[in-house]
Chain A
Amino acid sequence: MATEVSPADELQLTGSSAAYSPDNPAPVIEPPRARTKRTPRATRTNFELYGWLFMRLSGVVLVVLVIGHLLIQLVLDGGVTKVGFAFVAGRWASPFWQYWDLAMLWLAMLHGGNGLRTVINDYAEQPNTRVWLKTILFTAVAFTIVLGSLVIFTFDPNIR
Chain B
Amino acid sequence: MSTPTLEGHSSALDAAENTAAHLVAITLRVRRFNPEVSADSEWVDYQIQVDPKERVLDALHKVKWEIDGSLTFRRSCAHGVCGSDAMRINGRNRLACKTLIKDVNPDQPITIEPIKGLTVLKDLVVDMDPFFQAYRDVMPFLITKGNEPTRERLQSAEDRERFDDTTKCILCAACTSSCPVFWNDGQYFGPAAIVNAHRFIFDSRDEGGEQRLEILNDKDGVWRCRTTFNCTDACPRGIEVTKAIQEVKRALITRRF
Query: Are A and B a genuine interacting pair, yes or no?
Result: yes
Residues in chain A within 8 A of chain B (CB atoms): 13-16, 18, 20-22, 25-37, 39, 41-44, 46-49, 51-53, 118, 121-123
Query: B38 near A15 (CB under 8 angstroms)?
Result: yes
Q: Is B159 an interface residue (CB 8 A)?
A: no
A29 to B218 Cα, complex, angstroms:
28
Interface residues in chain B, defined as those with a beta carbon under 8 Å from any beta carbon in chain A: 35-40, 117-121, 127, 129-131, 133-134, 137, 181, 183-189, 214-215, 217-221, 223-224, 249, 252-253, 256
**Contacts of B119 on A, CB cut-off 8 Å?**
28-31, 34
Contact call B187/A20, Cβ cutoff below 8 A? no
Measured between beta carbons, the chain A residues less than 8 angstroms from B117 are 31
CB-CB under 8 A for A36 and B130, given A43-B219, A44-B214, A52-B223:
yes
What's the least CB distance linking B83 to chain A, in Å? 19
A-chain residues with CB within 8 Å of residue B223 when the two chains form the complex: 48-49, 51-52
| Chain B residue at smallest Cβ distance from A2 | B36
Known: A39-B187, A48-B218. A31 touches B40 (CB 8 A): no
A122 pairs with B39, CB closer than 8 A: no
List 7 additional contacts besides A20-B39, A31-B119; criterion CB under 8 Å: A15-B38, A16-B38, A27-B39, A34-B130, A35-B188, A41-B215, A52-B249
Nearest B residue (CB) for A15: B40
10 A-B pairs with C-beta separation under 8 A: A14-B39, A15-B40, A28-B35, A28-B127, A31-B183, A35-B130, A35-B189, A36-B133, A51-B223, A121-B224
Report the bound CA distance from A30 to B127 in whole Å: 9
Complex Cα distance, B214 from A75, in Å, reads 48
Contact yes or no, B133 A122, CB < 8 A: no
Specify which chain B residues have a CB less than 8 angstroms from the CB of A39 in the assembled complex: 133, 137, 187, 220
- Report the minimal beta-carbon distance from B241 to chain A, rounded to whole angstroms: 18
In whole angstroms, how far apart are the Cα atoms of A28 and B220 in the complex? Answer: 25
The 6 A-B pairs at the shortest CB distance, nearest first, are namely A26-B39, A48-B223, A25-B35, A26-B35, A34-B186, A35-B130
Is there contact, CB below 8 Å, between A46 and B256?
A: yes
Complex contact B35–A27 (CB within 8 A): yes
**A123 and B184 form a contact (CB under 8 A):** yes
Q: Does the CB pair A20–B38 fall under 8 Å?
A: yes
Q: In the assembly, what is the distance between CA of A30 and CA of B188, in Å?
A: 16
Q: Which residue of A lies closest to B187 (CB)?
A: A33
Are B186's CB and A32's CB within 8 A? yes
B133 in contact with A42 (CB, 8 Å): no
Chain B residues near A48 (CB, 8 Å)?
217-219, 221, 223-224
Whether the pair B256, A47 counts as a contact (CB closer than 8 A) is: no
Specify which chain B residues have a CB less than 8 angstroms from the CB of A15 in the assembled complex. 38-40
Residues of A within 8 A of B137 (CB): 35, 39
Q: What residue in chain A is nearest B218 (Cβ atoms)?
A: A42
> Smallest CB-CB separation from A47: which chain B residue?
B219
Nearest neighbor of B190 in chain A, beta-carbon distance: A35
A16 x B219 contact (CB < 8 A): no
Rounded to whole angstroms, the CA-CA distance of A13 and B38 in the bound complex is: 10
Chain A residues whose C-beta falls within 8 Å of the C-beta of B217 in the assembled complex: 42, 44, 46, 48-49
**Is the Cβ of A29 less than 8 Å from the Cβ of B120?**
yes
The answer to whether B219 and A22 touch across the interface, beta carbons within 8 angstroms, is: no
Query: Inside 8 A of B131's CB, which chain A residues have their CB?
Result: 35
A97 nearest CB across to chain B (Å): 32
Residues of B within 8 Å of A31, CB to CB, are 117-119, 130, 183, 186
Cα A33 to Cα B219 with chains together (Å) = 14
Report how far A37 CA is from B39 CA in the complex, Å.
27
Kindly name the residue among B133, B184, B188, B189 whose own CB sees the greatest number of chain A CB atoms within 10 A.
Answer: B184
